[in-house]
Amino acid sequence: MSRPLTDMDRRKQISVRGLAGVENVTDIKKNFNRHLHFTLVKDRNVATTRDYYQALAHTVRDHLVGRWIRTQQYYYEKDPKRIYYLSLEFYMGRTLQNTMVNLGLQGACDEAIYQLGLDIEELEDIEEDAGLGNGGLGRLAACFLDSMATLGLAAYGYGIRYEFGIFNQKIANGWQIEEADDWLRFGNPWEKARPEYTIPVNFYGRVDYTPDGVKWVDTHVVLALPYDTPVPGYRNNTVNTMRLWSAKAPNEFKLDDFNVGGYIQAVLDRNLAENISRVLYPNDNFFEGKELRLKQEYFVVAATLQDIIRRFKSSKFGSRDPVRTTFEAFPDKVAIQLNDTHPALAIPELMRIFIDIEHLSWEKAWEITNRTCAYTNHTVLPEALERWPVHLFELLLPRHLAIIYEINRRHMENVAKRYPGDNARLGRMSLIEEGDMKRINMAHLCIVGAHAVNGVARIHSEILKETVFKDFYEMEPSKFQNKTNGITPRRWLVLCNPGLADIIAEKIGEEYIVEMDELKKLLKFANDDAFIRAVANVKQENKLKFSVYLEKEYNVKINPSSMFDVQVKRIHEYKRQILNCLHIITFYNRIKREPNKKYTPRTVMIGGKAAPGYHMAKLIIRLITAIGEVVNNDPMVGDRLKVIYLENYRVSLAEKVIPASDLSEQISTAGTEASGTGNMKFMLNGALTIGTMDGANVEMAEEAGMDNFFIFGMRVKEVDAMDVKGGGEGRGNGYNAQSYYDRLPELKQAMDQISGGFFSPNDRGLFGEIVNMLMHHDRFKVFADYEDYIKCQDRVSALYMNPKEWTKMVIKNIATSGKFSSDRTIGEYARQIWGVEPSKHKIPPPSEPRE
């Protein structure tokens, strides 16, 4: 028997399929050495691994440059409709390997680096994640950029270049500690600063109503410096741009005549302006109404819209054409997609530009704004919806406040006309919420100002129409759409799981990488013994590799033949990591009760960051680590159950753990997870899912078939029925945690252990708040799904004992995951919202520059 293939062997093998020429390898070695010398100013005696990473990054980057310039030149000449994806988050992760994959350079680079006596995976692992996002929303933006480039759309991502991305999580004594993410410390080889395109952004000031129009005056100016990052499509020579803005104080900042003698202080105060792009707000699905956050939201919008309008004006259809001095053609040449309400100010800002600066009528400005903008909703959780206090706007954005009031006045007029006498509806639909503190409802602003509103999975889009946005849906049903999320198969299969990508390619070719529905062709191998073995082998290799990683980095030993049961996502009550904990404890208690019975061994891994201000989420992390301390050190349990907290879950860790997972935990309360995208990554990488009928799980189960999916728990209608409170007809049965506790002995035992200090012997009351929440005010009804969850986990364990049947089911899941490609999602946005057609056309490759 020959030794099993390593990932390295496979990466070279894939590269043999027409990717790596010998000349390429020679050139790469030459350029690597050239960069080490001229760019890093080192020789191999003193170079560190980081220098080698940098040298390789610059070598690969050189292959982007010609394509990037060409693509942008091509857009300038052909002037296609531009797609602008506005987002406060782009959770990009690492760039080096992704660039090699998309440019078809991976095989050649692997070989070149090998010939240089270096380990390419070690170099890749040096790269910092670009962690400019919190979770799913930010990662979605990153997947969309990849798909838009792959589909040949003239697309741009616009956001903020945070100096500090999502914090690094350390676990100390079982608690989360946050560390600043100083990701730019060693420089960023992937960005190009463009100070020549600096744009001024105004804040504060007052509104002057003059005979020749409204003027926003006496403002404070902050400069927005663009940094461009290339976004390569998959092997199509397209390279799009992600443009991130960095805040800079103008040189005259605070240095006016009134500031005599205050020169030093004035220079120090430049920080105040530059703080705008300092740090990403670390909240996932939570609104924190801080002034600095509002500044960030306006900063990205104002800089971006000036850039968009400059580009429009310099295009064929812009006002360069003397006959067309109006913005009539704007919506035919520009689409703006708002990633949640975070960039909602684009709507009043466009109105301000059109009216105050370009002197269009309100009606014309409104029509153009509306036809240009579209809005994606990402959550129905009330605590996540942005409702900005009016007083903050009065101070920071007085002109925008006036415009929003006028939008609302006209909107209220329309509603009143359509529903005469329905005052309650007027109140519900207003953009302005009355109360002790007047607030602006940003979702309402987006719905009114956009021509399309979409949810991110079928069930979520239905919930929007039936509940949160019901009134708006009734008034304008055709505005409401669904665009089920997706993930890019380039990063989430080819890059992170080369072993699996390779055996799939052996069976069905490589077309699936850009046409994920092709995976369906694997169905006919679901009973092919050799393929079943190959899939199981790849999983086992991935598990071994991840075990080695855990042992090396964290000094934890795990049993690689146990089931890897994984829940990785932000820590949030609605995601119900606590339900997972209750299963772990239940399993532990069963082992203790009947130690001689046969059990399916599990390694349960849980990872994710808690928002620093989210007390309950941090306590949940402590509960997980506390359970691990007891379970992992109980000799009676042995290696039948281990509980591992995966520290600092982020994109690059997801790429390691997901390919090694057997079981994917997607267990939110039905109706709370808008889509989920982690669920899709696991499905594509050969894990089975245990999940609720929530978000995209519903469509995943539909694609795979209910028999190939472990679905449990309440459906949305059952959850809702419990929520109906009070007397009268249609009364719900309520949710009574106590009744489950009384009825289910294993649940009672687990809860008694948590509350009695079994997992916190040195601080027996440590988890009192969790217990109190679960027993008395659990919004997410953990106990209601407990019994069904445990039963479902028992079925999972039983199937795992039959590896062949397990792997057959895995193959059926992989084969039916095609719908969840972000290429499909982007195709739908393109045709149904943006009015553009995706294309597989390849821009002719540039001739590489020669010295």
Ligand X SMILES: *Cc1c(COP(=O)(O)O)cnc(C)c1O
User: What is the Cα–Cα distance from 609 to 50, expressed in whole angstroms?
Assistant: 27
Residue of minimal CB distance from ligand X? 678
CB 482, CB 455: distance < 8 Å: yes
User: What is the Cα–Cα distance from 582 to 775, expressed in whole angstroms?
Assistant: 14
Choose between 547 and 822: whose C-beta lies nearer to ligand X.
822
Nearest distance in Å: CB 143, ligand X? 9
Angle at 100 between CA 96 and CA 103, to 5 degrees: 135
Number of residues located near ligand X, criterion CB under 6 A: 12
> Which of positions 666-685 make contact with ligand X (CB under 6 A)?
676-678, 681
Query: Which x/- pattern over 514-553 shows residues binding ligand X (rule: CB under 6 A)?
Result: ----------------------------------------
Using CB under 6 A, which of 569, 622, 640, 642 touches ligand X? 569
Choose between 295 and 569: whose C-beta lies nearer to ligand X.
569
User: What is the Cα–Cα distance from 333 to 354, expressed in whole angstroms?
Assistant: 16
Q: Among 68, 254, 36, which residue's Cα sits nearest to residue 149?
A: 68
Helices (H), 249-397: 263-268, 270-274, 291-313, 330-333, 346-352, 362-372, 390-396
Choose between 395 and 653: whose C-beta lies nearer to ligand X.
653
Question: 663 pairs with which residues across the strands?
Answer: 565, 688
Q: Among 278, 223, 281, which residue's Cα sits nearest to residue 252?
A: 223
Using CB under 6 A, which of 120, 344, 579, 654 touches ligand X? 654
Using CB under 6 A, which of 104, 136, 233, 686 touches ligand X? 136
Stretch that binds ligand X, among 54-62, 133-141, 293-301, 704-712 (CB under 6 A): 133-141
Nearest distance in Å: CB 677, ligand X? 4
- Which position among 82, 243, 352, 378 bears the catalytic label? 378
- Nearest 5°: phi and psi at 378? -115, -5
Those residues whose C-beta lies under 8 Å from the C-beta of residue 81, and which sit 6 or more positions away, are: 154, 332, 333, 334, 335, 834, 835, 836
Nearest distance in Å: CB 30, ligand X? 36
Nearest distance in Å: CB 584, ligand X? 19
DSSP secondary structure, 425-470, as one string:
HHHHH-SEE-SSS-EEEHHHHHHHH-SEEEESSHHHHHHIIIIITH
Query: Which x/- pattern over 364-403 shows residues binding ligand X (rule: CB under 6 A)?
Result: ----------------------------------------
Choose between 136 and 818: whose C-beta lies nearer to ligand X.
136
Active site residue 575: yes
Choose between 411 and 569: whose C-beta lies nearer to ligand X.
569
Those residues whose C-beta lies under 8 Å from the C-beta of residue 629, and which sit 6 or more positions away, are: 174, 759
- Which position among 677, 692, 807, 825 bears the catalytic label? 677
Q: 3-class secondary structure for 392-427?
A: HHHHHCHHHHHHHHHHHHHHHHHHHHHCCCCHHHHH
Active site residue 570: yes
User: What is the Cα–Cα distance from 517 to 823, expressed in whole angstroms?
Assistant: 10
Task: List strand residue ranges (DSSP E) for 543-634, in order.
Answer: 563-568, 602-607
Active site residue 569: yes
Using CB under 6 A, which of 81, 295, 483, 650 touches ligand X? 650
Nearest distance in Å: CB 665, ligand X? 9
Nearest distance in Å: CB 136, ligand X? 4
Choose between 133 and 233: whose C-beta lies nearer to ligand X.
133
Stretch that binds ligand X, among 116-124, 646-654, 726-734, 780-788 (CB under 6 A): 646-654
Nearest distance in Å: CB 680, ligand X? 8
Stretch that binds ligand X, among 312-320, 582-590, 647-655, 767-775 (CB under 6 A): 647-655
Choose between 102 and 485: whose C-beta lies nearer to ligand X.
485
Active site residue 600: no
Choose between 82 and 378: whose C-beta lies nearer to ligand X.
378
Whole-number CA gyration radius for the chain: 28
621 binds ligand X (CB under 6 A): no
Using CB under 6 A, which of 12, 139, 293, 781 touches ligand X? 139
104 binds ligand X (CB under 6 A): no
For strand 663-666 and strand 688-691, is the pairing parallel, antiparallel, or unpaired?
parallel
Nearest distance in Å: CB 87, ligand X? 15
User: What is the Cα–Cα distance from 42 to 631, expressed in whole angstroms?
Assistant: 50
Task: List strand residue ranges (DSSP E) for 685-737, in order.
Answer: 688-691, 710-711
Nearest distance in Å: CB 654, ligand X? 4
Choose between 651 and 814: whose C-beta lies nearer to ligand X.
651
- Which position among 58, 640, 681, 812 bears the catalytic label? 681
Nearest distance in Å: CB 683, ligand X? 12
Tokens linked to 188: 């960023």
**Sheet of 710-711, strands arranged across:** 641-646, 602-607, 563-568, 663-666, 688-691, 710-711
Print burial letters for 559-569: b (CB count within 10 Å at least 16), e (below 16): bbebbbbbbbb
Choose between 151 and 674: whose C-beta lies nearer to ligand X.
674
Tokens linked to 382: 């009330």
CB 446, CB 345: distance < 8 Å: no
Tokens linked to 141: 């933006």
- Which position among 311, 479, 570, 622 bears the catalytic label? 570
583 binds ligand X (CB under 6 A): no
The crossing angle, in degrees rounded to 10, of helices 577-593 and 782-800 is 60
Nearest distance in Å: CB 688, ligand X? 15
Choose between 35 and 650: whose C-beta lies nearer to ligand X.
650
Nearest distance in Å: CB 698, ligand X? 14
Evaluated on CA atoms 127, 236, 74, 242, the torsion sign reads negative
Using a 10 angstrom Cβ sphere, with 0-12 exposed, 13-18 middle and 19 or more buried, the burial of residue 843 is middle
Using CB under 6 A, which of 15, 67, 97, 135 touches ligand X? 135
The crossing angle, in degrees rounded to 10, of helices 768-776 and 615-632 is 110
Choose between 449 and 691: whose C-beta lies nearer to ligand X.
691
Using CB under 6 A, which of 302, 432, 651, 698 touches ligand X? 651
Q: Which amino acid does the sequence have at 622? A: R
User: What is the Cα–Cα distance from 672 to 667, expressed in whole angstroms?
Assistant: 10
- Which position among 295, 451, 575, 618 bears the catalytic label? 575
Residues listed for the chain: 851
What residues make contact with ligand X under the rule CB under 6 A?
A: 135-136, 139, 569, 649-651, 654, 676-678, 681
Catalytic residues: 378, 569-570, 575, 677, 681
